[in-house]
Structure 1
Amino acid sequence: MPSLSPYADPAAILITGASSGLGAAMAQGYARVGVTLFLTGRDESRLAKVAQDCRERGADVSAETLDVTDSDALAAWIEACDRRRPLDLVIANAGISAGTADGTEGVDQTRAIFAVNLNGVVNTVMPAVAVMRPRRRGQIAIMSSMAGFRGIGGAPAYCASKAAVRVWGEALRGALASDGLAVSVICPGFVATPMTDVNRFTMPLLMEADAAARLIRRKLATNTGRIAFPWPMAALSWIAAALPDALADRLTRRLPAKG
């Protein structure tokens, strides 16, 4: 019996940041006969491996090495993908974090994080909206983070970039609903990816990328507006966002750098 949800079985899916981590896991999860995947990432060799794995699962795959901060190149690629097969789902997943410079993000790191995590999402979403809006159908997913609910002293730019895209995505959901477009914001906790592999602290409720990707796919299929997981960490993040400043400062201030 066919699904009643128009979002349950997307046939043409575009994913940025697909060369590793959650992007790769989502691409592999969606890959099957009848599905066309448009994948982009910055690492050509890793992207090629993900693309080949998806082809072996039966998907038609087009992979392009792009930098999401290049707005013109990204827009041209998204438009070309849509001409090849009208996009059902666009996942703005590409994102970076950074190591620390003297215990905090340096100026160059800060600019790079905003360029990818904020501008890169805008550079992905706006061309997607432009091609989807005339036909009044399509779904857009924006990758935010639990870190977007309350700033943490060790990663101010990362937290701020994820907060910006979360709020923007939530607003877009309402703004684009009358155009027939669905927007979801994804707020994961800790997921085992190359990005988190560099962390030198305990990561509570760490999830494997495949498990996180399965959860995201289930929630996107039902057009869930905010996909925040795992739920205990989501609850703690919501509480942290409501704490008085004096208490929040003690809990979120940067820990001393360790050798």
Structure 2
Amino acid sequence: MKKPACILITGASGSIGGALAREYAAPGVTLILHGRNQALLDALAVECEQRGASARVFGFDVRDTARLQAWARQVSAEMPLDLVIANAGMNIDIGAQGQGERWEDVEALLDTNVRAVLALVDAVLPVMRARRSGQIALVSSLAAYFGLPVTPSYCASKAAIKAYGEGLRGWLATEGIRVNVVMPGYVESPMCESMPGPKPFQVTAARAASLIRLGLQKNQARISFPFPLNLGTWFLAVLPAGVSTRIVRWLGYGG
């Protein structure tokens, strides 16, 4: 499997997205970096170019799916995308007093974490299918295995991406297109720090990016880490739901 030379990353102004850009930045690599924080994107582009890569930045909200698709189609037409990493995401929770998620926040989360991901894939897939090559990484979460009471909508959105990616992988495997579902645990970031509950086995963004890159090189169906948390969340999915609910409350995620 050749090393990707042209890589598109959404959410590159976030911790994992930025770390992925740095991980891939090297001579001969073109990085297409999307995010909402233009200042962070510009600084990231400079850093990546210092490592020898060519970087182009684009700042807009992925919830504008018409703009997202027009942009992705234009980029796909201009250069062959070897790897697309759908990483942009957000999180909400039920609040410190358990007051519940606001509907407008739920809509924003679903538009960002689910609708925008599907729209991006829809836009880049035709060119990949025509040339019968390419790789798509969809960033889900270990939270996709079992819904946590403190972040129900976030867990639902990541479960949707997990199922979507697994379905795409089975569909597109015979066409030479690799699809991988990335399922991190807790990764050091402002978004992670704002999440309620304990954060066991937390890893740095740089470590997460290294593990993701290795998993994509190996074309792993699920790139899930760290191992202890991955095993634990998987067990939550296979145990009786009543038992799992009691376990997550005992661990401090009860809301």
TM norm structure 2: 0.94
| Aligned match of 1:255 | 254
- Alignment counterpart, residue 158 of structure 1, candidates 141, 151, 154: 154
Verify: 1:227 aligned to 2:241, yes or no. Answer: no
Could you say what the CA RMSD is over the residues aligned between the two structures, in angstroms?
Answer: 1.4
Given that 1:20 and 1:47 are in contact with CA atoms closer than 8 Å, whether structure 2 keeps it comes out as no
Determine the C-alpha separation between the residues in 2 that align with 1:58 and 1:77: 25
Report SS of the residue matched to 1:19: coil
> What amino acid is the match of 1:233?
L
Which deviations, in whole Å up to 9, do the C-alpha atoms of 1:147-175 show, x marking residues without a partner? 00000111110000000000110110010
Pairing 1:72–2:63 present? no
Partner of 2:15 in structure 1? 21
Distance in 2 separating the partners of 1:14 and 1:171:
22
For structure 1, the residue ranges without an aligned partner over 5 or more in a row are none
**CA drift at 1:252:** 3.5
Indicate the larger mover: 12-21 or 71-80.
71-80
Letter in 1 for 2:44: V
After superposition, residues 110-189 of structure 1 pair within 5 angstroms as 110-189=106-185
Number of residue pairs the alignment of both structures matches: 250
Hey, what's the Cα distance between the residues in 2 that align with 1:90 and 1:42?
18
Q: Given that residues 22 and 48 in structure 2 are in contact (C-alpha distance below 8 angstroms), is that contact kept between their aligned partners in structure 1?
A: yes
**Structure 2 CA distance, aligned partners of 1:202 and 1:174?**
35
Task: Report sequence identity in percent.
Answer: 42
Report the residue type matching 2:179 in the other structure. Answer: V
What is the deviation of 1:191? Answer: 0.4
Structure 2, unaligned runs of 5 or more: none
1:90 to 84, 90, 93: 84
1:56 aligns with 2:50: yes
Find the residue that maps to 1:186 and give its secondary structure: strand
Letter matched to residue 31 of structure 1: A
Task: Provide the C-alpha distance between the structure 1 equivalents of 2:140 and 2:20, rounded to a whole number of angstroms.
Answer: 15
1:207 alignment partner, SS class:
coil
Deviation at 1:13, TM superposition (A): 0.2
Q: Distance in 1 between matches of 2:155 and 2:93?
A: 14
Q: 2:212 aligns with which of 216, 219, 238?
A: 216
* Alpha-carbon distance in structure 1 between the residues aligned to 2:244 and 2:140: 21
Letter in 1 for 2:11: G
The offset of 1:56, in angstroms, is 1.2
* Structure 2 counterpart of 1:106: 102
Aligned-residue offset at 1:45: 1.1
SS in 2 for 1:183: strand
Task: State the distance in 2 between where 1:86 and 1:163 align.
Answer: 30
Task: Determine the C-alpha separation between the residues in 2 that align with 1:18 and 1:70.
Answer: 17
Query: What is the aligned partner in structure 2 of residue 39 from structure 1?
Result: 33
